[in-house]
Amino acid sequence: MTVATSSLSPANENQSKIIFAPSVLACDFTHLADEIAAIEAAGADWLHLDVMDGHFVPNLTFGPLLVQALRKCTKLPLDAHLMISEPERWIDAFADAGCDHITIHAEAAAHLHRTLSAIRERGVQAGISINPATPPDCIAYITDLIDQVLVMSVDPGFGGQRFIESVIPKIVYIRELEQKYNCHLHIAVDGGIDSSNIGKLAAAGADVFVAGSAIFGSKDYRAAIESMRSVALAALSVV
Ligand code: DX5
Ligand code: ZN
């Protein structure tokens, strides 16, 4: 782990269009506060928090109590990815814990309209996540209620899985929906992101990149973020 000495501000407007959201799932939990400080200093834009319930996904992670503790460690926007059944039961708890964004799964919430509205009513940005097998059309009638679509590029539940290439056309399609419904959306991709695929994802229209292993698994967090950022910007032809 290398701790950089100063935070990296995007050098120009184009750079700020590429958002890196490292997933804490891949960090060293025995030194959590140090890891968060290191990733903030390394140029992370958001902090991605993978919440799993052992029901919607076959793994358990953490809940609002840990989010509340992380809120005290960083000024970065906290980007909660709720991989939980019945997320409507937990919106207030995660909002109270200090989340800036709350993303729920289309497959996990029976009443998406109501739950997304509840997130917005708390003054929190709302996101919808779709699994690799879920068609993107499910966002068509809720574009006015979401700030972000999180396209899963692995089946959710674990870090370190292999990237699923077939999700890339969904990103292109969601940008088309954005035009059609005249809204503004972040399109995030999550799972197996590294330098080998980030260019294609940026070119397809993704602007938020969630990465666990490729950042926390590297020796130099700043170098890992900067090298992926360069590949993404090159794909957009802005470098
Ligand atoms: C998977 C999580 C991801 C994951 C990403 O269910 O949503 O955020 O931690 O980790 P990597 O980059 O290792 O695939
Ligand atoms: Zn995630």
Q: How far, in Å, is the centroid of ligand 1 from the Cα of 50? A: 8
Question: Which one from 45, 79, 147, 190 is the annotated catalytic residue?
Answer: 190
**pTM of the entire predicted model:** 0.94
Output the pLDDT for position 8.
35
Residue 151 near residue 187, CB atoms below 8 Å = yes
Of 61, 79, 190, which is best to mutate to test ligand 1, by the most ligand atoms within 8 angstroms of its C-beta?
A: 190
pLDDT digits (tens, 9 = 90+) for 75-122: 999 999 999 999 999 999 999 999 999 999 999 999 999 999 999 999
Question: Which one from 50, 53, 147, 194 is the annotated catalytic residue?
Answer: 50
Q: Ligand 1: which residues within 6 Å by Cβ?
A: 23, 25-26, 48, 50, 81, 154, 156-161, 190-193, 210-214
**Atom number of ligand 1 nearest to Cα 191:** 14
CA distance 200 to 212: 18
pLDDT digits (tens, 9 = 90+) for 138-151: 999 999 999 999 99
Q: Residue 194, Cα to own-chain centre: how many angstroms?
A: 14
CB atoms within 10 A of CB 186: 19
Q: How far, in Å, is the centroid of ligand 2 from the Cα of 112? A: 19
pLDDT digits (tens, 9 = 90+) for 4-46: 333 333 444 555 689 999 999 999 999 999 999 999 999 999 9
Q: What mean pLDDT is predicted for residues 38-65?
A: 98
**Catalytic (active site) residue 190:** yes
Q: Which of 86, 91, 84, 47 is nearest to 69 (CA)?
A: 47
pLDDT digits (tens, 9 = 90+) for 184-205: 999 999 999 999 999 999 999 9
Smallest CA separation from ligand 1 atom 4, residue: 159
Nearest ligand for residue 127 CA: 2
CA distance 7 to 74: 12
Q: Which of 151, 185, 139, 175 is nearest to 81 (CA)?
A: 151
